[in-house]
Chains A and B, each alone.
Chain A
Amino acid sequence: MDITLSNITMQFPGTRALDDVSLALHTGEVHGLIGENGAGKSTLVSILGGSLAPTSGSIAIGSEKLHLTSPRAALLRGIAHVSQEGSLVPALTGAENIFLGAEPRRFGVIHRAALRAAATEALSRWFPEVAIDLDRPVGELPMADRKVIEIVRALRGQVHLLILDEPTATLPVREKEQLWRIIRSLPPRGVGVVLISHFLSEIKALSDRITVLRDGRLIATEPADRMSEGRMVDLMLRRTDDTRRASANVHAPPTGNPVLALRNWRSGRIEVSDFTLHEGEIVGLIGLTGAGHVGFARALHNPAGVQVDALSIAGRPVSPRDVRAMLSAGLALVPDHRMEYALIGDWDLRENLAMVHTRHAATAGILFPRKEEAEARRVMRLLNVKAHGSGQALKTLSGGNKQKISIGKWLYGAEGRYRVMIFIEPTEGVDIGAKAEIYAEMRRLAAQGVGILIASSDLGEVAELAHRVIPFTGGRPGPAIPATEFSEARFIQSMSGVAA
């Protein structure tokens, strides 16, 4: 049976997330879906899973047209979606999670024995080789077991198509293998799989066919054995000889003074014995979820609980007490999850930009709105923020423009003040045009002598920007990878702790 997507277009305010995408999925295959962040993968599977309604286009199963108005409606038609973040209730047991919302009942109360029996039966029917204690709260289980429980739950009904969004992103390597076997076992039993993953080797190994999305358009659908990893990257990034040459130019390693130097850094289970960042240098920090690269980036800015033998910024020793100490030493952070960690949605752009250096437009604590306005406009022009004016509410901007404001907070009233800038997932939820502008801004800052750290799960982005890359595993940095050795395969090997 085929599930056919015809001419799907999804228009969001300011962005066309999907542009006329047509695709046929078979229930007997694993179909890999790849593309950069923001290419439209998540939008496409959200439409398929019923949680988004497309602006135009249609979905059909066999010859019957579907109207998927909700995830529940999709599930009733046999399409189940296991999202990236996970949707289990940590305090409930595996059995309770599998039958969440459909518990067997007796006399109006949950029939616990029947629930356990049914859950055990479901698990052993689908995955007889897997042993999971279904009586334990899932919060105590390994990540891979949690994923399996989510998949068993998704397969509760009569499922033809299972969407798996980054199922292995949070897993250590040995747990991945179990999940890979599970994914491969589904198509022979009539359950097609749509697999989204950042790990290209994984996509190649598991998929029967692979579809590449870029800028919301379907670029190619080809059998997996005809797609090399190099070809996938080229299709995803639209590499031309020009852009290759442009990035080659910036990869010449800078030779300036150190702007950040530390020795024997310990925060939680993160240990960095020696690290130096130079003027104008861009260093990428990569790793699997929980490997410590993001934790290290965060703790540099907010060093509560950090122990360090020596730390200096721009040549001056710093004692890492709190955020303020790091800011005044000249270290800034553009965090991930910007609406949570950086911005205030109800405020206008001017107020958001002025959040850090509010005193720039103040004398003796009194604000001068015109001065604030002038500086906000300068920063908005500099970063090419697309908005009606500085009085527009931040929450109405697109992701890319929001991110520019998050960067602009450190430029407002402070151009040239920060010598180290850390970016975590700098283009999370940012459309392709704004992405290029954000990269250009990062390069402009580096050209001014700012040392830049990027912790990102977008390996293409790291490869494009960084002079060297430091892979983290288990809370520790591995040997740096020089630009001459950059490749997706090398990154993935180093992140999983496998020797090259």
Chain B
Amino acid sequence: MSDATSPTAPQHDAVLGIRKDLIQRYSTLVVLALMFVIFSLTVDRFLTSQNLLNIAQQISMLTIVGAGLTFGFAAREMDLSVGYAVGMAGILVPLMLISGVPLPVAILGGLAAGLAIGATNALLVTVVGIPSLIATLATGSILFGINFLSTGGRAIYGGLPDAYLWLGQGRIAGIPVLAFFMVAVVAVAWFVMERTVFGRYIYAVGGNQKAAELSGVTVRRYRAAALIVCSVFAVIAGMLLAARLGSGQPNAGERYLLDGLATVFIGMTMLRPGTATVLGTFFGALFIGIINNGLNLIGMDTYIQSIVKGAIILIAVAIVSRSTKLNLL
């Protein structure tokens, strides 16, 4: 059959005089704004500068993990080891600091660990040929074991230098240092994805791997790079997380996997529906941050929060799946 039989572009359809593609692109943002307004009107301590800065602080690590996963999703690779990579950096860096390693060296050590994790994942996926979903599930399990063995399951605290703690707890002109990190990471990630040849090729590999290959793109290199970015961003978040908590917790990173994936999924419902984008992920993190914060302030049970969050992710993914193919494997 000829291409002429394919259906028309959706933008010719309209609901209440609004173009359908616009509705699709911005409906999640409208929901986000509505949620913000409702919490502002109904929850006492929600709309205060202190609480808004709190939200920024709370979502900063999540945004950084999500930004890394965005690279993975853009290249159609899934990284399920990010949660344990967050945990590993959050143990490794405090351990080094406590044993007297200077802060810059410890941070470089953390980044090197991220590179090593990412390179391992990349090797398994692009050279050995294991699908990323399975490869990273396995490496995640291995990291989990290492995290608990190396700490005996106990938290690492005491004796962390002030300069390190400042990264996670300090403020500049009243604004949390973490928020600056978040903005910087989002800005860099956005620029790389939207304004560089590297980002364009990551999207090409995810958009149509065969076409990218026949256009002369070294597909394997960009799939590998996307997985490495996932791990490196995860260890950055892990180092900041331990600084914020003031201790290294072997299980602190776990929730960043599911929440991180959720930020990307929610982000994929907006802007360029079906495609992971850095700004979409940022709004996804904001979405989750506002829900968590608002429900916390109301005093809702954490388990109910988890149910609400799960339902929201399902709705978001349902919206995307209805309009575009969501091929993740």
Closest residue on chain B to residue A401 by CB atoms: B3
Q: Assess whether A12 is in contact with B4, with CB atoms less than 8 Å apart.
A: yes
Number of residues of chain A lying within 8 A (CB) of chain B = 49
A395 to B4, CA, bound (A): 11
Q: Assess whether B3 is in contact with A356, with CB atoms less than 8 Å apart.
A: no
* Chain B residues whose C-beta falls within 8 Å of the C-beta of A409 in the assembled complex: 215
A49 to B213, CA, bound (A): 38
- Among B3, B8, B196, B272, residue most surrounded by chain A Cβ atoms (within 10 Å): B3
Q: Does B212 contact A (CB under 8 A)?
A: yes
Closest Cβ of chain B: how far from A103's Cβ, in Å? 29
B107-115, B116-124, B197-205: which lies at the interface: B197-205
Closest residue on chain A to residue B324 by CB atoms: A346
* Chain B residues whose C-beta falls within 8 Å of the C-beta of A13 in the assembled complex: 4, 8
With A52-B5, A431-B4 already in contact, the answer to whether A362 and B211 are too (CB < 8 A) is: no
Q: Assess whether A429 is in contact with B2, with CB atoms less than 8 Å apart.
A: yes
* Chain A residues whose C-beta falls within 8 Å of the C-beta of B1 in the assembled complex: 42, 46, 429
With A347-B207, A429-B3 already in contact, the answer to whether A356 and B216 are too (CB < 8 A) is: yes
* Chain B residues whose C-beta falls within 8 Å of the C-beta of A359 in the assembled complex: 197
A129 to B204, CA, bound (A): 53
Closest residue on chain A to residue B199 by CB atoms: A367
Q: Assess whether B211 is in contact with A342, with CB atoms less than 8 Å apart.
A: yes
Q: Assess whether B4 is in contact with A367, with CB atoms less than 8 Å apart.
A: no
Q: Assess whether B9 is in contact with A429, with CB atoms less than 8 Å apart.
A: no
Closest Cβ of chain A: how far from B194's Cβ, in Å? 8
With A52-B5, A323-B213, A356-B216 already in contact, the answer to whether A365 and B275 are too (CB < 8 A) is: no
A347 to B208, CA, bound (A): 10
Q: Does B210 contact A (CB under 8 A)?
A: yes
Closest residue on chain A to residue B195 by CB atoms: A367
A73-81, A237-245, A332-340, A451-459: which lies at the interface: A332-340
Count of A-B contacts with CB under 8 A? 100
Closest residue on chain A to residue B3 by CB atoms: A399
A393 to B11, CA, bound (A): 11
Q: Assess whether B3 is in contact with A402, with CB atoms less than 8 Å apart.
A: yes
Interface string of B277-304 (1 = CB under 8 A from A): 0000000000000000000000000000
Interface string of B129-162 (1 = CB under 8 A from A): 0000000000000000000000000000000000
CB < 8 Å neighbour of A323 from B4, B5, B214: B214
* Chain A residues whose C-beta falls within 8 Å of the C-beta of B197 in the assembled complex: 358-359, 362, 365-367
- Among A369, A399, A409, residue most surrounded by chain B Cβ atoms (within 10 Å): A399
Interface string of A402-424 (1 = CB under 8 A from B): 10000001000000000000000
Interface string of A23-67 (1 = CB under 8 A from B): 000000000000001100011001000001000000000000000
A37 to B4, CA, bound (A): 12
A3 to B310, CA, bound (A): 56
Closest residue on chain B to residue A428 by CB atoms: B2
* Chain A residues whose C-beta falls within 8 Å of the C-beta of B217 in the assembled complex: 355
Q: Assess whether A346 is in contact with B200, with CB atoms less than 8 Å apart.
A: no
Q: Does B90 contact A (CB under 8 A)?
A: no
A190 to B11, CA, bound (A): 48
With A327-B216, A395-B9 already in contact, the answer to whether A355 and B211 are too (CB < 8 A) is: yes
- Among A347, A351, A395, residue most surrounded by chain B Cβ atoms (within 10 Å): A347
Q: Does B6 contact A (CB under 8 A)?
A: yes
- Among B6, B11, B215, B216, residue most surrounded by chain A Cβ atoms (within 10 Å): B215
Q: Which residues of B contact A (CB under 8 A)?
A: 1-6, 8-9, 11, 195-198, 200-201, 203-204, 207-208, 210-218, 272, 274-275, 324
Report 23 cross-chain contacts, Cβ distance below 8 Å, ordered by A residue. A12-B4, A13-B4, A42-B2, A302-B213, A323-B213, A323-B214, A327-B216, A340-B210, A343-B208, A344-B204, A346-B207, A347-B203, A356-B216, A358-B201, A359-B197, A365-B196, A365-B197, A367-B195, A367-B196, A396-B11, A428-B2, A429-B1, A431-B4
12 new A-B contacts, CB < 8 A, other than A351-B200, A396-B8, are A42-B2, A323-B214, A340-B211, A342-B215, A344-B208, A344-B211, A354-B200, A358-B197, A396-B11, A399-B4, A429-B1, A429-B3
Q: Which 3 A-B pairs have the closest CB atoms?
A: A399-B3, A429-B2, A396-B9
